Amino acid sequence: MNRKYRKTVIAGNWKMNKLPSEIRNFAEEFRTLIPRAKWCDIVVCTPAVMIPAAVRAFKEGKVAVGGQDMSAHPSGAYTGEVAGAQLVDAGAKYVIIGHSERRQYHGETDEMVNAKVLAALGSKLIPIVCVGESLETRELELTLDLVTYQVKRALSGVAPEQMRKVIIAYEPIWAIGTGKTATAEQAGEVCTAIRAVVRAVYGARIARSVTIQYGGSMNAANAEELLAQPDIDGGLIGGASLKPEELAKIVLAANQE
Ligand code: PGA
């Protein structure tokens, strides 16, 4: 973390879990567990249909709400899709783009991810852009090549002034939902490389202002060590964000001076 230059952002990714009716209890319990003075931003990304209930429930705790995906199109005949403007109108401030589960199960390409990033920014949503390698890519020692490509491709056409609104999440696929976390050094190395890519394209000042998260089996036990890496500015947290006490502990780890 480096709070002098950029925000620390702890974001829960609930994936396809929980019911709208379960949010209020979660939010009330969570609020009792987190400190009043927060040095990090907290976001919970829910299924689109749950966003209005989440916005209401989390308002008092100053927890922002995000979507988990959006259409690259502004509106029209795209049955089943959700537009950025609809997320915004429902109260979302963030949206996850290009999560590996979208890439893997829904055929999202780097080109589609790029189109969605541009659409999110156009809708004034903060995109949390996910990149990360498979185990095979890591074993072939192609991680930095792949992640560099993914970042450049995802950000193609993003203007410098928009870049300050982008969050990048490094999520090694082999660490997601597996209980296998990247070591703090492995995660830190890739996040540093991501910042170098942003620096090469946008310059030093913008690069040091961009929040880069780590995601992949982050939990209350390993958060502090991961967040101690200079280029890891927060987390995108799946499993551990489903329990208020676990998510609160990660917030506390991010809240240390
Ligand atoms: P996990 O998921 O924390 O359950 O590994 C992270 C993510 O997929 O964003």
pLDDT tens for each residue of 143-169: 999 999 999 999 999 999 999 999 999
Q: For residue 31, how many other CB atoms are within 10 A of its CB?
A: 17
Read off the pLDDT band of 80 (50, 70, 90): very high
pLDDT band at 132 (very low <50, low <70, confident <90, very high): very high
Atom of ligand 1 nearest to the CA of 217: 5
The residue whose CA has the least distance to atom 6 of ligand 1 is 238
Rounded to two decimals, what is the model's pTM?
0.97
Confidence (pLDDT) at 82:
98
99 is catalytic: yes
Residue 60: is its pLDDT beyond 70? yes
Segments of 110-181 assigned E as strands: 126-131, 167-170
CA distance 190 to 229: 11
User: Rounded CA gap, 176 and 216, in Å?
Assistant: 4
Q: Is 81 a catalytic residue?
A: no
Residue with tokens 């509106």: 75
Q: Is the dihedral of CA 240, 244, 245, 250 positive or negative?
A: positive
Between 176 and 159, the more confident residue is 159
CA of 237 to the centre of ligand 1 (A): 5
Span 50-56, average pLDDT: 98
Round to whole Å and give the CA distance between 147 and 236. Answer: 17
pLDDT digits (tens, 9 = 90+) for 10-45: 999 999 999 999 999 999 999 999 987 778 999 999
Atom number in ligand 1 closest to CA 96: 9
Range of lowest pLDDT (15-24, 107-116, 176-185, 232-241):
176-185
Q: Is the pLDDT of residue 181 over 90?
A: no
For ligand 1, say whether the CB of 43 is within 6 Å of any of its atoms.
no
The residue nearest atom 1 of ligand 1, judged by CA position, is 238
Q: Inform me whether the pLDDT recorded for 177 exceeds 90.
A: no
Nearest-atom number in ligand 1 for the CA of 240 is 3
pLDDT band at 126 (very low <50, low <70, confident <90, very high): very high
Q: Name the average pLDDT for the chain.
A: 96
Give the pLDDT band (50/70/90) at residue 257.
Answer: low
Asked if 65 contacts 93 with a C-beta cutoff of 8 angstroms, the reply is: yes
| Predicted pLDDT of residue 198 | 98
What average pLDDT does the segment 70-99 reach?
98
Range scoring the smallest mean pLDDT among 80-84, 143-147, 176-180:
176-180
Mean pLDDT within 112-118: 98
Amino acid 139 reads E
Rounded to an integer, the average pLDDT of 182-198 is: 97
Range ranked top by mean pLDDT from 2-6, 107-111, 251-255 = 107-111
